[in-house]
Structure 1
Amino acid sequence: MTNSISRRTILRTGAGVALASALPLRGFAQEPAKPAEIIVRAWGGSWVEALKKGVSDPFTAATGIAVRHDLSEDNEIQPKLWAAVAQKRTPPIHVNWDTTTNATKSALRGVTEDLSDLPNLKNTTDLAKPVGLEGYPIVNTYGYVYVLAYRPSAFPDGAPKSWKDLLDPKFKGRIALYNDGIGFHFPAQVAGGGKLSDIPGNMEPAWDFIREVKKQNPLLGEDPDFTTWFQNGEIDAACTISTNAREARNNGVDIKWTVPVEGCKFDTDGLWVPKGLPENELYWAKQYVNFAITSGAQQVWLDGLGLPGVVPGLTPPADLVNDPSYPVRPEDFEHLIRISSQVQVENESAWFGKFT
């Protein structure tokens, strides 16, 4: 990670200032009591390591509050949070790092705290605001692209131009997708001859193309799996978030990624706080989210992930300048597919089920 030590040092020394300038939140005349720890749900592998370096460790340095990372999958923790709020029990975590679509489901269910009073929201771009929801039941923290990652040795003629290139018989058993198909449904719609404007009403072109891909016996997994598969030489291509391919490259694997002619899905993740926390723990959970959207925290956190954040002026990692997986200008989004969170919320469970 470029300049990670110097940036982290700067972040640690400035973390107290960043937090102090944001205090107190509305409704508190002074800081409430600090809990010994807060629990933040996170994805494993390079994901949690980046969060730890950019947000959690500096937060602890500034506040003295330990941060424990719960590595339950987002879909696994979701029903537990919903049940805790419904039964008026204390939720099992303080902050959920979640996909915006999953988080929107929780917001519509009424289990998320309103984060509109976070002072640092005033310094964020429009990407931080969840679309179609009142206030800030979620704070989006960055965007990402589900790229076509590939091993150059398997594509001697250059980067694959189309998702259809994965149908070559030589790739049977050598490609990988997420186990619920996330990130692949929309480019599959185009590759299958359909229109994005037909989503969700007519997605048969997507399912036709996915049936063809199924014949290739793809490996199915989650984020850490893709990096491992590339490192172990088990796959030649994958539909995955660029972070996973970049981690493999950083670990010495010869790997590249591209945006094929059909496009790639662009989406966001965010942070939210479940209802039902003790008042003082709610306060500090909010402070964690507030700190995560400072420029210092975002620079280090997202350097680790290789993703564009929601604070203006962040410096792209040197290896991602002008990379299609790191959009920063309007023209960078021309070949990226963005489908509204509402459409995804209303249909994603059905899509996942059908894919499975």
Structure 2
Amino acid sequence: MTFDKKLNRRDMLKTSAAFGATTLATPTILHAQEPTKPSELIIRAWGGPWVEALKNGVSDPFTERTGIRIVHDLTEDNEIQPKVWAAVAQNRTPPIHINWDTTTNATKSALRGVCEDLSDLSNLAATTDLAKPVGVEGYPIINTYGYVYVLAYRPDAFPDGPPKSYHDLLDPRFQGRLAFYNDGIGFHFPAQVAGGGSLDDIPGNMAACWEFVEKMKAQNPLLGEDPDFVTWFQNGEIDAACTISTNALGAKRNGIDLAWTVPDEGAKFDTDGLWIPKGHSESELYWAKEYINSALTQEAQQVWLDGLGLPGVVPGITPPEGLAGDPSYPTEPADFERLIRISGQIQVENESDWFSQFKQIMQG
């Protein structure tokens, strides 16, 4: 694993000297008079425990403070992306005020020039380096936390201990009892290793990845999105899944006996962020920025990310009960040694092809 392919923590945990500014009050921009408040802001979000955590940690407190109602649009990020791009290109008002997005998808939008500049948010001064997007100028996106695509599993399906490798899932007893994202996100890189390939060959030679995906296809896995994983675990339909730890944590908090691990092949580490599409009125832009600024306070991140079980970008957050030192909650350099982080540029340039190839194999 080369230096630029594996997460380097160098300065990721380095905090600003302005740590005390973490809970700075808004507004972020100096105005002679506070702009008129819109009646509502529309935030694109993921469903299930994801939107519930955002609602509790950021949206409800924002509404209480400002009186602005928050509407959560649960359209999938890949589905809403072309709609936003088309609206900006045609000088129409975008369908959402803020996109809660994967950093890779958000980077595609930033490179397309459809994102507003967020560098004037006051609470940026107290975030860690993880908040800064890589591969773009300035802050068209603000990363809000990191996450790991763990191998989640039902302990009673693995009586000899946690699965050590994705090869363990090829056992015939797991036919129809596994789950992956419908585009394979999170699985491509471990599959490259499981297939005998090297991360250094990404993206030029991923034959090993696709050969292993072919083997996994023979297991007839379920394919879905975040809310599906929680439901499948709760209903006892699956024994293991490559998924973001939040989904397994959500099911566990609902009383399901679940655990998760980082297998021998490693696990993808990535980030999500918030961004604002161009094309809104001055007042809507102002209050959309206020919403993102409020999401960067220690108070908001503590509640929001406690619900998700993920490490944030504001120092001083207390890990949720039971997650300190967990492989899904990396905070120290040693925690990242088995995690894989492929550069954002490589992901932006190739992710659509990877998704297509995965779907072609699984549906073929």
State the Cα deviation string for residues 104-127 of structure 1 (Å, max 9, x = none).
000001100010000100000000
**Aligned counterpart, 1:104:** 107
**Aligned counterpart, 1:340:** 343
Letter in 2 for 1:109: R
Q: Secondary structure at the match of 1:318?
A: coil
Deviation of 1:24 after TM superposition, in Å, equals 4.5
Identity, % of aligned positions: 75
Q: For the residues of structure 1 that align with 2:235 and 2:279, how far apart are their CA atoms?
A: 44
Deviation of 1:298 after TM superposition, in Å, equals 0.3
**Aligned counterpart, 1:137:** 140
Structure 1, unpaired ranges of 5+? 1-16
Which 4+ residue blocks in structure 1 deviate beyond 6 angstroms?
A: none
Number of residue-to-residue matches in the alignment: 338
Alignment of 1:29 with 2:61, yes or no, is: no
Q: For the residues of structure 2 that align with 1:23 and 1:284, how far apart are their CA atoms?
A: 9
State the Cα deviation string for residues 121-148 of structure 1 (Å, max 9, x = none).
0000000000011000000000000000
**Aligned counterpart, 2:59:** 56
**Aligned counterpart, 1:302:** 305
State the Cα deviation string for residues 63-95 of structure 1 (Å, max 9, x = none).
111111001000111011000000000111100
State the Cα deviation string for residues 15-42 of structure 1 (Å, max 9, x = none).
xx957x332415x333110001101000
Alignment TM-score, normalising by the size of structure 1? 0.94
**Aligned counterpart, 1:84:** 87
| Conservation of the 8 A alpha-carbon contact between 1:144 and 1:241 | yes
Q: Secondary structure at the match of 1:266?
A: strand
Letter in 2 for 1:317: P
Structure 2, unpaired ranges of 5+? 1-21, 360-364
Letter in 2 for 1:271: L
Deviation of 1:321 after TM superposition, in Å, equals 1.1
Q: Secondary structure at the match of 2:146?
A: strand
**Aligned counterpart, 1:12:** none
| Conservation of the 8 A alpha-carbon contact between 1:24 and 1:31 | no
Alignment of 1:242 with 2:217, yes or no, is: no
| RMSD (Å), alpha carbons | 1.0
Letter in 1 for 2:215: E
Letter in 2 for 1:22: T
Letter in 1 for 2:245: S
Letter in 2 for 1:168: D
**Aligned counterpart, 1:270:** 273
Decide which of 107, 116, 125 is 1:113's aligned counterpart: 116
State the Cα deviation string for residues 195-230 of structure 1 (Å, max 9, x = none).
111100110000010000000000000000001001
What pairs with 1:168-207 in structure 2 (closer than 5 Å)?
Answer: 168-207=171-210
Q: For the residues of structure 1 that align with 2:177 and 2:27, how far apart are their CA atoms?
A: 52
| Conservation of the 8 A alpha-carbon contact between 2:28 and 2:293 | no
Alignment TM-score, normalising by the size of structure 2? 0.92
**Aligned counterpart, 1:256:** 259
| Conservation of the 8 A alpha-carbon contact between 2:28 and 2:122 | no
